[in-house]
Amino acid sequence: MHLGTLAFCLVLVVAPLAAEAQNLPRIGLLSIGADPSRPVAWSPFLERLRELGYVEGENITIERRFAAGRRERLDELVADLAHLRVDIIVATGVPENLAAKRAMPTTPIVMMVVPDPVGEGLVASLARPGGNVTGLSTLAPELYAKRLELLKEAIPAVTRVGLLSNPANAHSAAASRERSRPQPEYWACKSTAWLCAILRTWTGRS
């Protein structure tokens, strides 16, 4: 789903708040990202909000909290948003949404990029999320087989494919269950050291 559509969904939540509250509705943006001064991922989202009539400083307030790549800061940032009493949180990935749900179990949370929200415990099901979390799921395991099929069409002579897999990641777990031709060799990669060792193994093969 496009970020513009996500913005429209957010408006469905913000609009009643704007009508009821004397102060401007307050939206919290939460990301583990590094640089809030270059919000490339947020730009379409914010632009769509403006197109729908929601302009920062005029009829909404936006509180931005970025962890600069440091996951351990997320709880602190969520606590800050809770202290500010934001009306809704828009969070990017899995750790951000989990941190927000732990600290703010009654505040509406919109997830942006979560592969498997059911498996992560964020929602009860995709059809009926329940609770206070909604948003987008990017899990599409059927695409892995299609990508390998396209690779085979582009390079018919290919017979061996290696795929790095993070066992803790829902995307990787889903990919490892897919059956396709050629069947990839899955290599668990849990750290930078593991990655270096795997690459040395691959480059050493004929």
Domain 3-137: give its CATH superfamily: Response regulator (3.40.50.2300)
Contacts of 196 (CB under 8 A, 6+ apart): none
Q: Could you tell me if 192 and 166 are in contact, meaning their C-beta atoms sit under 8 angstroms apart?
A: no
Mean pLDDT score across all residues of the chain: 79
Reported as a single tens digit per residue, the pLDDT across 24-44 is 899 999 999 865 555 566 788
Separation CA 16–CA 25 (nearest Å): 9
Domain coordinates in residue numbering, the chain? 3-137, 142-203
> Which span out of 10-14, 56-60, 78-82, 189-193 was modeled with the highest average pLDDT?
78-82
First to last CA, the chain: 42
